Structure 1
Amino acid sequence: MRLGAVADDVTGACDLAGRVAEAGLPASVLLGIPRTDASRDDVFALAGSSCAVVALKARTAPVAHAVAASSEAAHFLVGAGATLLYQKYCSTFDSTPEGNIGPIADALAAVAAESAAPDAPSPVTIGTPATPDAARTQYQGVLFVGGVPLAESPMRDHPLTPMRDSNVVRLLAPQTSAPVSLVRWQDVRRGADAVVDLIGDGHTLVDALTEDDIDTVAEAVLRVAAERPVVAGGGAGVGTALARVAVRATETTEGDAATGPDASVFTASGAPRSTGAAASLPGVPVTGRLILAGSASAATRGQIAAFTGERHELDPLDLAHDPGTLDRLRDALANRTDRLAPVLVRASPDVATAQRELGAERAAALLEDALSELAAWAVDELNISHLLVAGGETSGAVTTRLGIERLQIGVQAAPGVPWAVASTGSGRTVAVLLKSGNFGRPTLFTDAWEVAP
């Protein structure tokens, strides 16, 4: 299986690729759509990757832009040899009634149909946002986040995609003209054959409460794919299960244990269980560690609170009114005597005041620009070798400024939070951990370094 995934942001791409690699399939992340034939030809050859994820900035982009970019990415992946397309969206189903999950699903289904036989049945999408080991589950069409219905979770008041309904079928239906159907948990428990029998035209969302349920969804996807064009999709859960199913099939074929790898890639204490696929990264000599936190999520706030090392704050109001703000921070970092100890630079927690005065978009842009400029300066001038970045928008800004085009995915520091090795535009090799704001244990900013390449 060659899994070609289109992710709507960079941390979601890393989430999927990290879990797939831990499940046993080497994976890489492409930051944007490569423009050369050579890039297309080696996308799956690099490090023996069986999964290539194109990371876009499409989650809250205008619908037309998101659809165009996703279609281009899907065409690229099919041209590179992908045998199954995957739509990676957020496990909290971040979207509005206009999109972008539905329109992108329609677009990827159209790409899948183009590469099918002329007389093939119409394409379908099959998936679920459920990712049980990240406490995302779906029951009777209702998405739960940490055991709480989506609309009662902190996502209810998200500034860009406020989630005021917990039923994913009702959320998806206004975003597409195609039919939207549900396979309920009681039928999932009957096995993959039962799920296959209930796959409807258009888009099918499937309940899942456990990793076994997710494996059943993956098996159903592969059976349907043998008969008609299919796009799999959802959070990272189904993609991880597809990797597990593929690894089990390979091991069975080779005469190894048919049970395959343990469904859990983490020990009971929460430490990552390394696999060959995720342990093949080249080492990066440690010459400095920097944490950049642009996320205001509850998980990131907890990680900031638990961090006991040196810290600095960046306030959008200071950046807007005082041109020397970033220079003073650079001076403070340059004068540190112990650069091997992690240092944290965080966005000011008082974002509401800055948003009122500057507007939400300008406040966010000032922070992203400052943090990304700081990252590039730290790598090139301070010889920082290891970067931990919290927040999807911040991660996208940092990797763009560093000129990173590809991430080779390694071991996870926490579920959905993998380390990666990359080359910057200036020719430096760095280790980077790009973290979704909602992911990771409270101690992540301290203990992530223990498994860093």
Structure 2
Amino acid sequence: MSGPFLGVIADDVTGACDLAGTVAELGHSTSVHLGAPHGDLDADADCIVVALKTRTIDPDDAVAHSVAAARALLDAGAARLYQKYCSTFDSTPRGNIGPVADALLALLGRDAVSIGTPATPQAGRTQYLGHLFVHDRLLSESSLRDHPLTPMRDPDLVRVLSAQSAHRVGLVPHAAVRWGPSAVVDAVRSASAEHVLVDALDDGDLDVIAAAIDDVDSPVLLGGGAGLAAALARRALPATAAAPLPAVEPGRRLVLSGSGSERTREQVAAFAGTVLRLDPLALAGDPDALDALLAATDEALAGDAAVLVSATDEPDAVRRAQTELGVERAAGLVEDALARIAVHAVDRSGVRRLIVAGGETSGAVAAALGATTLRIGRLAAPGVPWAVADREGVLVALLLKSGNFGGRDLFTTAWESAP
């Protein structure tokens, strides 16, 4: 094997797991490395994913981390670079999808072009005439309109990306995709743009795009959600058999929810066990609030049932906390508290299986546990795989979930597929 067929730079850990789990389900060996690499990556995998936490940080920092990850992936022999962003294009007018894509293009050379689509039909995300849909609604009419960190109020992705990038942004419309790979290649050339977004309504469209990429003359930076990566994986023959996950010892179960998404609110409401509430305003106003919550978590975990610690709340309550504390401080308080609860639960309470809801929260928890790599296992739901991390010699099973993924009963049913 000369190297992985795909090297992925993901802007958050749940997106990394989404893509890795999807590719692994297609028979490819896949590894996830957490954080910017500080040494050589293990090249003995068909697909290597570097999971960063760059979606909402300063654009300059996001660029630096992403370029470092890309260099490490190229050094590991990756045949293609893939910029993984959310299937709902989560970003703000300053980035970070555009600035990172610009920097990765510069790394690949002056004639490079980025080709991508966030379309992930299995998750209900499709792109038509450059507009992003969530199931049957425009992105701007979905619950993502009020995302607490990246409110998405413009469904026109060409316009959104143009505001973030120094380069031209073009579109390959669905009509060209329906004509097949050659028409897509011609449309990419005709777009005369450095960044090209491609319409896709189903997996067949994604397969056409994947086939077209092989015939593009310029160096190509790929981009998108897990959907296009799956299409690329369907075209590649698995070179290395995926090793079975190591056994995780029996232990207690804990759910940590930091997402404010509509689907996560439904999952929290459907959870039938003990629920402990985490309030950022209480954390900010009472120095003893976190210690009290740690003690309550210990007590709740004394039984055999799973326990949920949730900062998930209705949008009005989230906005109230953001108004009083500031957006960054409110988010930071929640992430730090849930991360400290995770460490305490593993080290002191015998928790060995954790479900974490929310991309930023998942990144904070994984970092606090000291995880550097994830072994990817079975999917508990589309885009939501179990993984195993090493916590100072103790194996911990983690389900790191994007806020909008999974069925209403995921916090109950996911344990059935846990390692």
Same fold (TM over 0.5): yes
Would you say the 8 A contact 1:286–1:340 is kept in 2?
Answer: no
Q: Match for 1:318 among 282, 303, 316? A: 282
* Residue equivalent to 1:222: 214
In structure 1, C-alpha distance between the alignment counterparts of 2:371 and 2:304, rounded to whole Å = 23
User: Does 1:147 find its partner at 2:111?
Assistant: no
Q: CA deviation at 1:175?
A: 2.1
Report the AA paired with residue 245 of structure 1: R
Q: Which amino acid aligns with 1:297?
A: S
1:43-54 matches, within 5 Å, as 43-45=42-44, 49-54=45-50
> In structure 2, do the counterparts of structure 1 residues 336 and 144 end up closer, same or farther at CA, with 3 Å as the change threshold?
closer
State yes or no: 1:407 paired with 2:374. Answer: yes
1:2 equivalenced with 2:5 (yes/no): yes
**AA in 2 matched with 1:435:** K
Report if the CA contact (8 A) 2:345-2:351 is conserved. yes
Show CA shifts across 1:53-80 (max 9, x none): 1111111112111111111110111011
Q: Does 1:211 align with 2:203?
A: yes
Shift of 1:112: 2.3
Uncovered stretches (5+) of structure 1, i.e. residues with no partner = 114-120, 252-275
Which residue number in structure 1 is paired with residue 414 of structure 2? 448
Shift of 1:164: 2.4
Deviations 1:179-231 (CA, angstroms, capped at 9, x unpaired): 2211111111111121112113411111000011111111112332xx33111
Deviation at 1:335, TM superposition (A): 3.0
Name the amino acid aligned to 1:2. F
Aligned to 2:233: 243
Counterpart check, 1:186 vs 2:175 = yes
Contact preservation (8 Å) 1:24, 1:244: no
> SS state of the match for residue 25, structure 1?
coil
SS of alignment partner, residue 356 of structure 1: helix
Residue 178 of structure 1 and its aligned partner are, at CA, apart by: 2.2
- Return the offset for 1:338: 5.2
Equivalent of 1:355 in 322, 326, 329: 322
CA distance 1:333–1:156, change in 2 (3 Å): closer
CA distance in 2, matches of 1:101, 1:404: 25
Instruction: Quote the Cα distance in structure 1 between the aligned partners of 2:321 and 2:165.
Output: 36
1:295 to 254, 259, 263: 259
Equivalent position amino acid for 1:87 in 2? Q
- 2:359 corresponds in structure 1 to 392
User: Retained in 1: the 8 A contact 2:259–2:312?
Assistant: no
Once the two structures are superposed, residues 30-54 of structure 1 have per-residue CA deviations (whole angstroms, 9 ceiling, x without a partner) of 1112212xx42xx222xxx211111
Secondary structure of residue in 1 paired with 2:56 = coil
- 2-structure distance, mates of 1:322, 1:311: 20
Distance 1:335 1:176, change over 3 A: closer
How far does residue 107 in structure 1 lie from its aligned partner after superposition?
1.2
Q: CA deviation at 1:287?
A: 0.7
* Counterpart residue number, 1:161: 150
CA contact 1:295–1:394 (8 Å) conserved in 2? yes
Separation of aligned partners in 2, 1:102 and 1:153: 23
Match of 2:79 among 78, 83, 103: 83
State the TM-score, normalizing by the size of structure 2: 0.93
Q: State the partner residue of 1:105.
A: 101
Separation in 2, partners of 1:354, 1:102 = 29
CA-to-partner distance for each residue in 1:398-451, whole Å, 9 max, x for gaps?
111111111111111111111001112x32111001001111100100000111
Distance 1:25 1:107, change over 3 A: same
Report the secondary structure of 2:55's partner residue.
Answer: coil
Q: In the alignment, does 2:286 pair up with 1:335? A: no
User: 2:230 is matched by which residue type in structure 1?
Assistant: T
Q: Does 1:232 align with 2:222?
A: yes
The match for 1:427 among 389, 393, 417 is 393
Q: 2:22 aligns with which of 19, 43, 49?
A: 19
Moved more, 181-190 or 149-158: 149-158
Give the Å deviation of 1:339: 4.2
Find the counterpart in structure 2 of residue 258 from structure 1. Answer: none
User: Which residue of 391, 403, 406 maps to 1:437?
Assistant: 403
Aligned-pair distance for 1:330? 2.5
Shift of 1:15: 0.9
Q: Distance in 2 between matches of 1:156 and 1:351?
A: 14
- Give me the CA root mean square deviation: 1.8
CA distance in 2, matches of 1:319, 1:245: 50
CA distance in 1, matches of 2:196, 2:333: 40
**Any idea what SS the aligned residue of 2:351 has?**
coil
- Partner Cα distance (2:409, 2:268) in 1: 9
Q: For residue 321 of structure 1, report the CA deviation from its aligned partner.
A: 2.3
CA contact (8 A) 2:252 2:304 kept: yes
State how far apart, in whole Å, the 1-side matches of 2:57 and 2:296 are. Answer: 36
Aligned-partner SS, 2:87: coil
Distance 1:17 1:409 in 2: 7
Assess if the C-alpha contact under 8 Å between 2:148 and 2:318 holds in 1.
Answer: no
The 3-state SS of whatever aligns with 2:71 is helix
Counterparts of 2:305 and 2:362, CA distance in 1: 21
For structure 1, which segment, 191-200 or 234-243, has the greater mean C-alpha deviation from structure 2 after superposition?
A: 191-200
Indicate the residue corresponding to 1:256 in structure 2. Answer: none
Task: Give the total of aligned pairs.
Answer: 409
Give the TM-score normalised by the residue count of structure 1.
0.86
How far is the alpha carbon of 1:302 from its aligned partner?
A: 0.4
**For the Cα contact (< 8 Å) 2:161–2:169, is it kept in 1?**
yes
List runs of 5+ in structure 2 lacking aligned partners: none
CA deviations 1:108-139 (Å, max 9, x no partner) are 122223xxxxxxx7111111010000000011
The percentage of counterpart residues that share the same residue type is 56
Alignment of 1:47-86 (within 5 A): 49-86=45-82
* Alignment partners' CA distance in 2, 1:383 and 1:446: 19
- 1:93 and 1:129 in contact (8 A); partners too: yes
Q: Secondary structure at the match of 2:215?
A: helix
2:160 aligns with one of 164, 167, 171: 171
Asked whether the equivalents of residues 316 and 363 of structure 1 are also in contact (C-alpha less than 8 Å), the reply is yes
Distance in 1 of aligned mates of 2:203 and 2:312: 38
Provide the residue aligned with 1:259 in structure 2.
none
